Amino acid sequence: MTRLRVALLDMDGTVFDSMIDLAAVRRDLGLERDGRGILEQITELAPDARARGLEALLDAEARGAASGELVPGAVELLAALRARGVRCALVTNNSRASADAMLRRFPLAFDLCLTRDDGPTKPDPTLFRIALKRLGAAATEAISIGDAHLDLLAAHAAGIAEIVLVRPSSWVLDFIPAGVAHHRAADLREVREIVERLLD
């Protein structure tokens, strides 16, 4: 198979546990969990509710970035990828401010960080395409690692060769279309094993 040259990693719920309760933010705004990203849902609210929703989301994200913790195995996974010559991008629907705040607290070895301030959010494949272009790799040389259907759908739409879904919430599984080939992992140690196997 094609050699993997680039890994595209999601932030929240994948390498970083912000402990943000997005379900509570959704509840406060009266938003259903319908499979769309929360930002997309907020954007469609009436102007007043939209402003309130954006403020609540930004506030939750900022608190999360300031007080969250790395997911166990994140440092080791990045080290393993880099040791095998795989370049790593953090690709998140979170804001630039929160991603930078997280990376200041935990200087993970990413070659690139893209946020919603850099383009349309996942499941749109644009951020993945930008990352591939910036890192000089084809989609067929990339692996995506994320915890949500949004990551999987974006990776699938971008034609990413290997897709890993790690520790997904049970409700996420309702939004995984049948027929999208992917690996499932219970934690980042298992992700590392999958990656090592693919690289051998």
- For Mg ion, the binding residues (CB under 5 A) are 10, 12-13, 147-148
When the beta carbons of 72 and 85 are compared against Mg ion, the nearer one is 72
- Shortest spacing between CB 14 and Mg ion, in angstroms: 5
When the beta carbons of 39 and 199 are compared against Mg ion, the nearer one is 39
| Ramachandran class of 179: left when φ > 0, alpha when ψ lies in -120 to 50, beta otherwise | left
Distance CA 63, CA 59 (A): 6
- Shortest spacing between CB 122 and Mg ion, in angstroms: 9
**Which tokens hold the place of 187?**
């934690």
Per the CB < 8 A criterion, the answer to whether 163 and 181 are in contact is yes
- Shortest spacing between CB 2 and Mg ion, in angstroms: 26
| Exposure on the CB side of residue 121, measured as CA atoms within 13 A | 19
When the beta carbons of 12 and 61 are compared against Mg ion, the nearer one is 12
Count Cβ atoms below 10 Å from residue 18 Cβ, excluding itself: 22
- Shortest spacing between CB 184 and Mg ion, in angstroms: 15
When the beta carbons of 4 and 18 are compared against Mg ion, the nearer one is 18
